[in-house]
Structure 1
Amino acid sequence: MTNVNPTVWLTLQAHDAPALIDYYVRTFGFVVAARYGAEDTVDHAQLNWPEGSGGIMLGSHRPGAAWSREPGTAGGYVVVADPDALYERVLKQGADVVRPLAKTDYGAREFAVRDPEGNLWSFGDYAGEPAPS
């Protein structure tokens, strides 16, 4: 079996998907790879994390749909090469910091913010433990 790096896509729905996409690009640095739908409705968007594989798939909230979740109830962790630089960026953008940048007991540097829809985001340099052999 080939050793493949994991790729995880967080899936979100938003009350104001266009505004949330703009926030993620401006505040965190995600890159829009695709966006489908009308001006105020996002059927599907793909935002790539520029430092590696994975990212976000998101769209406008559609109550009653088979894949419907209440906006603002997700949480995600994103590995970053330089948490200090990203922390300065989010502070300049006025992000809602819920946990300031600090060193953890396990040696990582991390911080957490709440996005405008209420989702929690943690950013840090902890890339996880290697997979067991």
Structure 2
Amino acid sequence: MSIHPTLRYDDPRAAIAFLTSALGFREAAVHTGEDGTVAHAELAWDDGDDTGLVLIGPRRPGGDRFDTGPAVIYLTCDDPDAVHARAVAAGAQIAMAPVDQDYGSRECAVTDPEGTTWSMGTYRPSPGRP
């Protein structure tokens, strides 16, 4: 089983541009409607031998039971300082500067233009780990 966070954005195309330029995601798939707007996208986060996917879609007028609003997403990486510097250079809002946590992880966080917080760190959660 896999887990794939799904995020809704007012402007999915701008979110994709931000996430690829600021954080280093890559476009795995982008599907557009007849009018050219993004209907569904899959962005890949590569972490060594592991690849995770986050799904991006538009907010729907009149409400959407699957639109939960901004979220906090954690990304594992070997060098959070480098990801943080890249994000800041691309205009990301700093939520937490790089810091060494007491549990041994190096972590930082930025917020995207629509309010989702992207936290990056060296800690790699694992099933069965306390």
TM-score (norm 1): 0.84
Aligned residues: 126
The one-letter amino acid of 2:89's match is K
Mean Cα displacement is larger for which, 86-95 or 14-23?
86-95
Partners of 2:10 and 2:64 lie apart in 1 by 17
Q: In the alignment, residue 42 of structure 1 is paired with which amino acid?
A: V
SS at match of 2:51: coil
Aligned to 2:79: 82
* Partner residue in 2 for 1:25: 20
Q: Percent identity?
A: 36
* AA matched with 2:31: Y
The answer to whether the 8 Å contact 1:13/1:59 transfers is yes
Report what 2:46 is aligned to: 50
Q: CA deviation at 1:88?
A: 1.6
* Map of 1:3 onto structure 2: none
Residue 122 of structure 2 is matched in structure 1 by 125
Q: Does 2:7 correspond to 1:12?
A: yes
Q: 1:44-63 CA deviation, whole Å, 9 max, x = no partner?
A: 10000022221210111114
Give the Cα separation in 1 of the matches to 2:82 and 2:66: 35
* Gap regions ≥5 residues in structure 2: none
Q: Which residue of 2 aligns with 1:41?
A: 37
1:7·1:53 contact (CA, 8 Å) conserved in 2? no
Which residue of 103, 107, 110 maps to 2:104? 107
- In 2, are the aligned partners of 1:62 and 1:68 still within 8 Å (CA)? no
Give a deviation string over 1:97-130, Cα, whole Å, max 9, x none. Answer: 0111000111100001110010111000000245
Deviation at 1:70, TM superposition (A): 4.6
> Match of 1:128, SS?
coil
CA contact under 8 A between 1:97 and 1:112: conserved in structure 2?
Answer: yes
Q: Residue type matched to 2:111 in 1? A: R
Give the drift of 1:40. Answer: 5.3
